[in-house]
């Protein structure tokens, strides 16, 4: 399991298996947020299998599936709510971590500047420069937005 810390309360990771959930629980993560839709890859565990594994481990589990290139405002809000309500620290994941960090970036745009978000993403190994216009628009309007063009 390769997780990168974004904030004291949230990390992101690429694909997780049931064994990775065991490692995450041992590392102290209290909540897992799965951003992969079921069936994205043939070798991928289903969300219900991961939810059952998380329950056995005493870890909270949320499933907010995002199809690549189809991120919606509702998903950003669901992610913001999940992170806000989650027992901390939380670990969000998808196939590469990009959808999870994109959800975080858009959800955090109500409290962090675009430069802070992009710097944090870059330090974590993700280039989210394509989101700059959305982040700047959200900063000027005071609300986060997502659309199919930039939220990939």
Domains of the chain by range and CATH? Answer: 4-141 (3.90.190.10)
> Scanning the structure block, which residue is given the tokens 């810390």?
5
* pLDDT tens by residue, 32-41: 999 999 999 9
Q: Is the pTM of this model over 0.85?
A: yes
Q: How many CB atoms are closer than 10 A to CB 23?
A: 14
Give DSSP secondary structure letters for 16-69.
--HHHHHHHHHTT--EEEE-PPTTSSTTPPPHHHHHHHHHHHT-EEEE----TT
At 117-144, the pLDDT tens digits run 999 999 999 999 999 999 999 888 865 4
């Amino acid at each position: 399991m390769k997780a990168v810390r974004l904030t004291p309360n949230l990390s992101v990771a690429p694909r997780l298996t049931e064994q990775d959930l065991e490692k995450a629980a041992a590392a102290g993560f209290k909540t897992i947020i799965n951003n992969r839709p079921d069936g994205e890859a043939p070798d991928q565990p289903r969300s219900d299998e991961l939810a059952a594994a998380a329950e056995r481990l005493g870890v909270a589990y949320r499933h907010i599936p995002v199809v690549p290139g189809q991120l919606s405002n509702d998903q950003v809000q669901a992610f913001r709510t999940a992170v806000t309500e989650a027992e901390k620290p939380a670990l969000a994941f998808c196939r590469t971590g990009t959808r999870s960090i994109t959800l975080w970036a858009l959800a955090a745009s109500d409290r962090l500047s675009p430069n802070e978000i992009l710097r944090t993403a870059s330090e974590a190994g993700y280039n989210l420069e394509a989101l700059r216009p959305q982040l700047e628009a959200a900063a000027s309007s005071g609300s986060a937005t997502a659309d199919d063009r930039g939220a990939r």
